Amino acid sequence: MNPIKILIVEDEQLVADDLRETLEDLGYIVPALVASGEQAILTAETLRPDLVLMDIRLEGEMDGIEASSEIQSRFNLPVVYLTANADRATLERAKTSQPFGYIVKPFDERILVTTIEIALARHQTEVKVQEALIVAQNNQQIAESKSQKESQQFYMAAHEFRNPLTTIRLSSEMLKAYGGQMSEQRKQNHLDRIVSATDTLTNLLENVLTLGKSESSNFVFNPRAIDVVAFCEEIVHSWQLTLNEQYEVTFAANTKNCIAYLDEQLLWHLLNNLLSNAVKYSPKGSTVSLLLNCEDNSVYLQVKDQGIGIPPEFQAKLFEPFQRASNAATIPGTGLGLAIVKRCVDLHKGEIYVDTILSKGTSFVVQLPLKADTLSVELTSCNYL
C-alpha cells in the first residue's frame, strides 16, 4: 500500500512544522506546507494528496472553510479541520462544508490518528460507491427514463445510509481507542449515538423495504372490512403514549361506526407516516390532529399540524422518494414517508390533497373508497431497487 500523503494548510510556521514532524513520525507523507486558502487549492490540484489538514483562520482573503468547500467540490478530497476555533458560530459554518473531521488544538496524537484514519476510510467508501454508481449509470444510458430514475433512487438510498454508518463507526472507534480513559458519561454519550444511528438505519431500511414491496410485481393488495374509527383511535392512542406530553395528538370523527374495505397494513403505513411527518415538522407543545369523515362512497382522513409548512417550489416533488424541502434540511429525515403514503393511496385507487402555509402548518387529506372493486387484486409494477 502506498504511503498516505497529507497536505497541511496552516499559517503559523512553527505549528505547521510541528504537525509535519508528528505526521511523518506516524508514517504519513507531507508533500507540502501552505499558509493560505488560495495556495491550498493550487497545491491540492497539483499534488492531489490523500487528505488535507486545514486550519480555519488563514492568511489571505479566503479562509479554511471556503478553501475546503472548493477543494472538496473540485477535487473530491477529504478535508479535516485542525483549528483552535471551537466557538459555536465557527462550528456551524464548518458543518456546512461537510468536513470529514474536526480537531481542536492543542490536539492529542491518538485523536489525530483516529480522525485521519476514519476520514480516509469514509472517503474511500464514498469513492467506491460513486464509482459503482458511475458504472451503473454508464450501463443504463440506453435504458428508459424509468430505469434511470431507479438508478438515481439507489444513489439517494446509499447516501442516506452513509451518515448513520459514519456515526456508528466513529463512536465505535473512539470507544475502542480511548474507552479506558473516558468518563462514564462520555462512554454513554457514544453509546447513545450508536443506538440513535442504529434506530435511524432500521427506520430507513424499513421504509425502503416497504416502498419496494408495494412496487413489487408480485405484491398482493388485500382489502378487508375494517372499522376505521377503531383503527384510527388505536393509532392515535399509540402516538399519545409515545409522545407523552411533548405534543397533543387528537382524533375526531363524524360517526361512531365506519366500515371500509381497505388494506390494513397499507392503511397503517399511510397514517403513521402522515402523523410522523406532522410531529417531526411541528414545534413541541403544538397540536397534531387526525380527522375522519365517512360519507356515502368515500372515507376522508385528514392529518393537520401547526408546523413549518411546505415551500411552493417543492410541492411538485412532494411525493417523490428522497425529496426534502429546503426548510427541512436541519430536521432528520429520509424523504421516504410521503412517497410511501402516495403509494398506499394509489393502491387503494384513492386521492391525496395538501393544503399548506409556511410557518403556519400543513393539512393532508386522503380520500379512499369505502369499498374496493375486488377483495384481492394482484398488481403489476416495476421493482423499486
Q: Mean pLDDT throughout 305-324?
A: 85
Question: What are the tens digits of pLDDT across the range 279-313?
Answer: 988 999 999 999 999 988 899 999 999 999 999 88
Separation between Cα atoms, residue 66 and residue 56, nearest integer Å: 9
The answer as to whether 131 is a domain residue is no
The answer as to whether 132 is a domain residue is no
pLDDT of residue 67: 94
Q: Is the same domain home to 208 and 353?
A: no
Q: Flag whether pLDDT at 23 surpasses 50.
A: yes
Model pTM score: 0.48
**Which of 333, 336, 329, 285 has its CA nearest to residue 307?**
285
Q: What is the mean pLDDT of the chain?
A: 82
Question: What are the tens digits of pLDDT across the range 338-365?
Answer: 888 898 899 899 999 999 999 899 999 9
Q: For the chain, how are helix, strand and coil distributed in percent, rounded to 5?
A: 50, 20, 30
- Domain stops at, among 214, 242, 259: 214
pLDDT of residue 215: 62
Element containing residue 65 per DSSP (H, E): helix 64-75
Question: What are the tens digits of pLDDT across the range 360-383?
Answer: 999 999 999 988 654 444 333 333
Domain span including residue 200: 142-214
Report the domain count for the chain: 3
- Higher pLDDT: 153 or 3? It is 3
Q: pLDDT-derived band of residue 186, with 50, 70 and 90 as boundaries? A: confident
Q: Is the same domain home to 162 and 87?
A: no
Q: Is the same domain home to 18 and 64?
A: yes
Q: CB of 66 within 8 A of CB of 93? A: no
- Domain stops at, among 82, 117, 152: 117
Q: Flag whether pLDDT at 155 surpasses 60.
A: no
Q: Which amino acid is at 128?
A: K
- Domain stops at, among 196, 214, 232: 214
Q: Mean pLDDT throughout 3-25?
A: 93
Q: Is the same domain home to 196 and 326?
A: no
Rg, Å, the chain Cα set: 26
Separation between Cα atoms, residue 354 and residue 311, nearest integer Å: 12
Per mean pLDDT, which range of 24-28, 64-68, 215-219 is the poorest?
215-219
Q: Is the same domain home to 344 and 272?
A: yes
The answer as to whether 123 is a domain residue is no
The answer as to whether 179 is a domain residue is yes
pLDDT of residue 262: 93
Q: Is the same domain home to 197 and 224?
A: no
Q: Where are the beta strands (DSSP E) in 25-175?
A: 33-34, 51-54, 79-83, 101-104
Q: Is the same domain home to 84 and 172?
A: no
CATH number (domain holding residue 150): 1.10.287.130
Question: What are the tens digits of pLDDT across the range 39-59?
Answer: 999 999 999 999 999 999 888
The DSSP bridge pattern shows strands 51-54 and 6-9 to be parallel
